[in-house]
Amino acid sequence: MAEPFHIGFLLFPNLTQLDFTGPLQVLARLPGAKLHLVAKTKGPVETDCGPFLLADTDFNDCPKLDMLCVPGGFGIDQAMQDADTIAFVKRQAEGARYVTSVCTGAFILGAAGLLKGKRATTHWAWHSHLARVGAEPVKARVVRDGNLFTGGGVTAGIDFALTITAEIAGESVARAIQLGIEYDPAPPFDSGAPDRAQPETLEICERRYAGRVADFEAALAAALG
């Protein structure tokens, strides 16, 4: 019997729910996958849209992971300043076959020193800050640099998960999972990227994110010392 492939998702308060559940839905179907929902303490973790997720293990009890997956969300401001969280990420990354993030989860990897000299991506509104953690910013839905996989904003987590599934189990398995979840996006508007969105749409988003980005900048400065 093949050994289980241990995948750990880092959970922290105020994470973006789809950053986590998008990849989860794909990676749960990876043959041999053993999933671990890891937080500083076991129990409920509130997301940015209200519902709670249930962490089934904590940093001390988490087994050695084959894949570490770090979602994003506004809660990264606190998570990347938490010494226990960063120590856990560093420890697991040392032995993992794959180190991954979705959206602004990249900055937790960055705060752990794992993006230095690496090509990486993140949510478009935070993308320009990747250089501050030593990364080479790349504008793409999914970016690979060695065993590091980073996904863009929120929905790019599904693309990331299918990409890494193909790497691990082969393209035919990834294609079958894509069909199984009927991932066939056909959005009603072509506004999913800043270079295609109408100017007024981009302005609304930038105005909405302005305060959040300012808070993030201060938190990142504190995290990097």
> Which residues, 6 or more positions from 163, have their beta carbon under 8 angstroms from its beta carbon?
142, 144, 149, 174
Other beta carbons within 10 angstroms of residue 202's beta carbon come to: 16
Phi and psi based region of residue 146 (left: phi greater than 0; alpha: psi -120 to 50; beta: remaining): left
Among the listed residues 49, 69, 103, 205, the single catalytic one is 103
Spell out the long-range contacts of 146-149 with Cβ–Cβ below 8 A and sequence spacing 24 or more.
Answer: 146/118, 147/96, 147/97, 147/98, 147/99, 148/98, 148/99, 148/100, 148/109, 148/114, 148/115, 148/118, 148/120, 149/98, 149/99, 149/100, 149/101
Is 103 in the active site? yes
Contact (CB, 8 A) for 30 and 6: no
Q: How far apart are CA 152 and CA 136, in angstroms?
A: 14
Looking at 46-155, list the stretches that DSSP marks H as alpha helix, in order from N- to C-terminal side.
Answer: 76-79, 83-95, 106-111
Helix (H) or strand (E) segment spanning residue 38: strand 33-39
Contact (CB, 8 A) for 15 and 45: yes
Residues with active-site annotation: 103
